[in-house]
Amino acid sequence: MPRLQVLAIVASVAGIAVSIYLTVVHYAGFAPACPLSGPINCEVVLSSPYAVISGTSIPTSVAGIVWFAISALLWTRPFGQFHVGWAAIGLLAVIYLVFIEIVRLGAICLWCTVAHLLVLGILLIAVTMWNRVKE
């Protein structure tokens, strides 16, 4: 298995861990380990109406668990265009969530940012591997 593929699996597992932490924080009702004032404020982001899947009480971090778990499983398979597509779907979700954080809430959650960067990293790995396949 190529090293980049292993790195994508590691990033996916790290994303699962971050998403589980955010889910536990949501259900336990305690403040996350993050600054609670100013533009970096996890509490503002995680207590907003956007922190749950619309029309439910399920935190968006559960969607993160699912996305990263599928990503980890996918990266154990031979590389193909589906890897790039899945990573692109993740990036679209990240763009939406970052828009919500910055424009709607005026606050950034550090834990969410870690998950977003992991998605971006997975996308970069997928694009890099895709470019190598095309050569």
Q: What is the mean pLDDT of each run of 10 residues along the chain (135 residues)?
A: 95 98 93 84 93 94 98 96 97 98 96 97 97 81
pTM above 0.85, yes or no: yes
Residue 77 CB neighbour total at 10 angstroms: 10
At 64 the pLDDT is 98
At 135 the pLDDT is 67
Task: Tell me the CA distances in angstroms from 115 to 49, 55, 77, 124, 133, one per residue in order.
Answer: 19, 23, 22, 14, 27
At 35 the pLDDT is 78
3-state SS of the chain: helix, strand, coil percent to 5?
A: 75, 5, 20
At 71 the pLDDT is 98
Q: CA–CA separation, 97 vs 110, rounded Å?
A: 13
